[in-house]
Chains A and B, each alone.
Chain A
Amino acid sequence: MHPALQGLLTILIGVGGCVGYFYFSNQLIDKVLFPPRGPNAGRNINRANMVRPWLFLLPALLALGLYLAYPVLETLRLSLTERIPGGGSKWVGLDNYRQMVNEPKFWEAMRNNMMWLLVVPALSTAFGLLAAQLTDRISWGNIAKSLIFMPMAISFVGAAVIWKLIYDTRPVDQEQIGVLNAIYLALGGDQPMTWLTIPFWNNFFLMAVLVWIQTGFAMVILSAALRGIPEETIEAAIVDGANPFQIFFKIKVPQIAGTIVVVWTTITIVVLKVFDIVFAMTNGQWQTQVLANYMFDKLFRANDWGVGSAAAMVIMLLVTPILVWNVWNARKEMR
């Protein structure tokens, strides 16, 4: 069959299946299980209405259970077992975790992740807020916003490739195609640097990629929040004599504090899971390892599913509290 037809068929079956599920399951309740007639009509209507929400929730619950809850539990199980060469596995308790915390590479990943955690959300939110405020009232603001938002549409790997070219290094006698080296040499640097191999600082060169991507996200959300501030409070501040900086920091920012926290924590979660950029640019070499890449290394390169799963559990433990806080804040914002 032609692939396009196949695609069309998939869509039809998928959408038709959904519509069919909701239609027939509701029919089942209303016509067969709890018909609203006969001596128990009132009771049946109440029961049907109690069951109905679960009908709508069921597909999502099943999908989440299959693709979220089961993998978490299975990962937890795997992190407590060890693979036996030739097949099978055995229970080893916390051995995998013990092995992991004794590896310097794990602690390097932890340290780097913490640095990412401090730098990327802060810079992305700050740049996003700045861009949102500066583009608010100018005629070409929307064009500027589109340009700043555009990196959001690029995959992390694509972004990594772009930035790898920026940091590119050619031998001394050749022309430099890396923008950073070109600038460095033009400003009087004596020889091209291999930026991504300079320990410690190379972490920040990687972070720049994620900041570049996430600034657009922060800007869009914060720009909407800034527009939502009642104009009269700003006019009142003008009458009260506040200068533009005071208006921004004392009137506008506090009023969108909740949104700033949501943006910050959302980016924090992205940062904790960061993998693609490091994988594509340095693969954790030169002391740039991060947790997700460490997990990938263990799981798929070393084939050590035990330690890999243990690393995955650590990431989950770090993400969960921030996720809960984020959802809590977002719900508070909506109220």
Chain B
Amino acid sequence: MADLKLRNVGKSYGEVEVLKDINLDISTGELIVFVGPSGCGKSTLLRMVAGLERISAGELEIDGMVVNDVPPSQRGIAMVFQSYALYPHMTVRDNMAFALKIAKMPKDEIDAAIARAARILQLEDYLDRLPKALSGGQRQRVAIGRSIVRDPKVYLFDEPLSNLDAALRVATRIEIAQLKESMPQSTMIYVTHDQVEAMTLASRIVVLANKGIAQVGTPLELYERPENEFVAQFIGSPAMNLLDGRIVETGAQTTIELATGNKAVSDIATDAAQIGRPVRVGVRPEDMHRDAGTPVFTGQVNFTELLGEVTQLYFDPQDGAQPVIAKLPGIVHGLRGQTVTLSADPSKVHLFADGQSLRA
């Protein structure tokens, strides 16, 4: 129903610049997730799309129209807030009807819209209750219902699950995914700091860092082909290991001599001019194996965590860096204190120079 375009969008509070030169195209039917560390401006960016924060620089287009100066209610957006922001003095029905009454919609149409939303969200039995008589999950659904009845061009979600407990969060996450599937034409922007939510819900993820966009891509693109060290470490848990080294052999594959003495092989192609270039080798913990493949790391296991489905090995940190972590499938006993050599498939070995990926 709506295309969204952000053109060099920036935000400053007085002298302090929090976002700059954000360029992003969102097309109809996408579910875009903004992720990033605390304070990266992801909520600010969402609130700028909503119209709750002024856009300091650049342009925001919805459906081909620049809406920088259009008030929130006329942008065709609906927002679900982190704290739900239900009107505490109104029943569930009135909460959902408020925007429609303001818009002077005929009463029978309001009733129809509420009945439809209540059916989708299984709120039919709660329409005459006040928000305080609802559980957290139900309040969350009312907040979503309040958006649905307005039939907006763009749905905006600001960390909608962060106030729910862990079990409910998983259930509501799936509900939101199903809701999106049932409304394939709706465009959604979803802000979270939880990368599991981002990976499971998004059609594309926007990673925000350092006032700008670090990378935009589908969840698997971000996981498999991170463009920079920030995204590489931000997506995935535990974070990707980064090891310092220098390129020693180039060609269709690249060989790197690591500071630890190991030699790592990556399937990234490089030319001879790169020989001797200092790089960082990135390997995800789950891509390290204890087999006869291409070795990438040797070290003494400092500590182990047996989680049942996986065993996590923590190695002695190399000269003050973060400890290297490996994740082995299943339960592996007796590795603590041992020296272990781990291998990695060259296609899973990432190379970063000056923070940027060498993968073309």
Between A232, A242, A251, A257, the greatest number of chain B beta carbons within 10 A of the residue's beta carbon is seen for A232
A238 to B74, CA, bound (A): 10
User: Looking at the complex, which one of B51, B71, B79, B103 makes contact with A236 (CB distance below 8 Å)?
Assistant: B79
Interface status of A246 (Cβ within 8 A of chain B): yes
> Could you say which residues of chain B place their CB within 8 Å of the CB of A230?
83, 85
Task: Report the separation of the CA atoms of residues A220 and B29 in the bound assembly, to the nearest whole angstrom.
Answer: 49
Q: Check if B85 sits within 8 Å of A233, measured CB to CB.
A: yes
Say what secondary structure dominates the interface of chain A.
Answer: helix
- Whether the Cβ atoms of A238 and B52 lie closer than 8 Å is yes
Chain B positions near chain A (C-beta within 8 angstroms): 50-52, 71-74, 77-79, 81-90, 98-99, 102-103, 146, 150
In the complex, which residue of chain A has the Cβ closest to the Cβ of B75? A239
Total of A-B residue pairs, C-beta within 8 Å: 62
Q: Judging by beta carbons under 8 Å apart, are A232 and B83 in contact? A: yes
CA of A246 to CA of B102, assembled, Å: 9
- Residues facing B in A231-248 (CB within 8 A) are 232-233, 235-242, 246
CB distance B89 to A238 under 8 Å?
no
- Bound together, the chains give a CA A254 to CA B85 distance in angstroms of 15
A251: which B residues are within 8 A, CB to CB?
87
Cβ contact within 8 Å between A235 and B81 = yes
| Contact residues in B for A239 (Cβ distance below 8 Å) | 50-52, 72-73, 77-79, 99
Judging by beta carbons under 8 Å apart, are B88 and A255 in contact? Answer: yes
Kindly report which residue of chain B lies nearest to residue A231, judged by CB atoms.
B85
Residue contact A236 to B87, C-beta cutoff 8 Å? yes
A-B contact pairs, 12 of them (CB 8 A): A232-B84, A235-B52, A236-B79, A237-B98, A238-B73, A240-B99, A240-B150, A246-B102, A250-B98, A251-B87, A255-B87, A257-B89
Q: Which of B51, B78, B85, B89 contacts A232 (CB 8 A)?
A: B85
**Looking across the interface, which residue of chain A has its beta carbon closest to that of B102?**
A241
CA distance A230 to B99 in the complex (A): 18
Contacts of A250 in B (CB 8 A): 98
Report Cα–Cα, A236/B84, bound state, in Å. Answer: 9
- CB pair A240–B73 under 8 Å, yes or no, is yes
Q: Which residues of B contact A232 (CB under 8 A)?
A: 81-85
Determine which residue in A235, A239, A241 has the highest number of CB atoms from chain B within 10 A of its CB, and name it. A239
* A interface residues, Cβ below 8 angstroms from B: 230, 232-233, 235-242, 246, 250-251, 254-255, 257
Hey, which chain B residues are within 8 Å of A240, CB to CB? 73, 98-99, 102, 146, 150
CA distance in complex: A242, B99 (Å): 7
* Neighbour of B102 across the interface among A233, A242, A254, A255, CB < 8 A: A242
Q: Which residues of A contact B74 (CB under 8 A)?
A: 241
- CB proximity of A235 to chain B, nearest CB, Å: 5
Partner of B72 from A233, A238, A246 at Cβ < 8 Å: A238
Given contacts A233-B85, A233-B88, A236-B79, 17 further A-B contacts (CB under 8 A): A232-B81, A235-B52, A235-B79, A235-B81, A236-B86, A236-B146, A237-B87, A238-B73, A239-B52, A239-B77, A239-B78, A240-B98, A240-B150, A242-B98, A251-B87, A254-B90, A257-B89
What are the residues of chain B within 8 A of A238 when measuring CB–CB?
51-52, 71-73
Residues in A whose Cβ lies below 8 Å from that of B90? 254
When distances are taken between beta carbons in the complex, the residues of chain A under 8 Å from B85 are 230, 232-233, 235-236
Cα(A235)–Cα(B82), bound, Å: 12
Nearest chain A CB to B272 CB, angstrom units: 58
**Complex Cα gap A246–B78 (Å):** 18
What residues on A are CB-neighbors of B87 within 8 Å? 233, 236-237, 251, 254-255
